[in-house]
Amino acid sequence: MRRLIGWIKPQTQPPQTSLWRKIKIGFLSLFAVTTASTIGMAMLDREKLTNDLLAMSANAGLVLTDIQVRGRAHTPQSRLLAALNLETGAPILGINLQNLHSNLSQIGWVEDAIVERRLPGTIHITLRERVPIALLQNNDKHKLIDQSGAIIDGADPSQFTHLTVVAGDNAAPHAAAILSILKTEPELFSEVWAVSYRSKRRWDVHLKNGMEVRLPEIDPVSAWSRLAMIDRKKAITHRDLAVIDMRVPQQLIVEPNIPVRGRGSKT
């Protein structure tokens, strides 16, 4: 039988009497299946009884006819179909919703899912997908991360090159906080292409023109706001500077963009 998946769409309902009859049979069958698995039935083959009840419900019309999905924006349809592994015509009461939820949760894009059985024949799924906030740099590779810093497995970083690059040991869990700070000054943030987490305690901000802004560990919000105010007045980020150091309270230290001759030494 063919697999089926699609967006929510209006359905043509059968006559009301027929629908309620199917639902009644469905609930009775479901109750009987549940009861059979919880009480001692030494004289009966439990598996056979379950199969017979499911067959009875299917004969009454309680079979899978439609899968409705809400909330899918990035989750690949092929990955979703593979996780569901459902076929039209299967007894809808025999579909294990917990297993479906577990399978959906294994998809990288899916943060959470609600799976519902809507008689007579619909499985309704509501997805909450992860929202990408940055590109995590790991050696020479990039991976998409969400608000919590979790890597979104299966996501294609090349489709999100507009996002800020985040680098540094243990940077991912703290990325949302620094990006939230930087976005308080939209004009200045538009010039940011990457941030680096230094010594697991503070951030360096890298602008698109190659300039580096060193933020302090304590109160980076005020430092960033002060830089934005200075930039509006004096356009300091458009000067030929290599570094703007704001780690000293109420001070702004700059390093000119002087070409380096020779290898130099580490500091």
| E strands present in the chain | 6-7, 66-70, 110-118, 122-129, 132-138, 141-146, 164-167, 192-198, 202-207, 212-214, 241-245, 253-256
Q: What is the mean pLDDT of the chain?
A: 86
Q: Structural domains in the chain?
A: 6-129 (3.10.20.310), 132-256 (3.40.50.11690)
pLDDT bin (cut points 50, 70, 90) of residue 4 is very low
* Backbone torsions φ then ψ of 9, nearest 5 degrees: -145, 155
**DSSP codes, 199-258:** TTTEEEEEETTS-EEE--SS-HHHHHHHHHHHHHHH-GGGSSEEEEE--STT--EEEE-P
In this predicted model, which residue has the larger pLDDT, 151 or 36? 151
Q: Please say whether the beta carbons of 167 and 147 come within 8 A.
A: no
Structure token digits, residue 49: 């009884």
Q: Is the pLDDT of residue 256 over 70?
A: yes
Amino acid identity for residue 85 in this structure: N
Across the range 193-202, mean pLDDT stands at: 97
Whole-angstrom Cα distance, residue 107 to residue 98? 15
| Region 72-77 average pLDDT | 96
What mean pLDDT comes out for the span 83-104?
96
Full DSSP string of 27-42? HHHHHHHHHHHHS--T
The top-scoring range by mean pLDDT among 23-32, 55-64, 233-242 is 233-242
Residues 129-170 pLDDT 10s:
999 999 999 888 999 999 999 999 999 999 999 999 999 999
Q: Which among 121, 149, 123 has a CA at the least distance from the CA of 135? A: 149
Per-residue model confidence (pLDDT) at position 213: 98
- State residue 218's pLDDT score: 96
Query: Would you say 127 and 75 are in contact if contact means Cβ atoms under 8 Å apart?
Result: yes
SS3 195: strand
Residue 53's pLDDT band (cuts 50, 70, 90)? confident
CA 86 to chain centre: 24
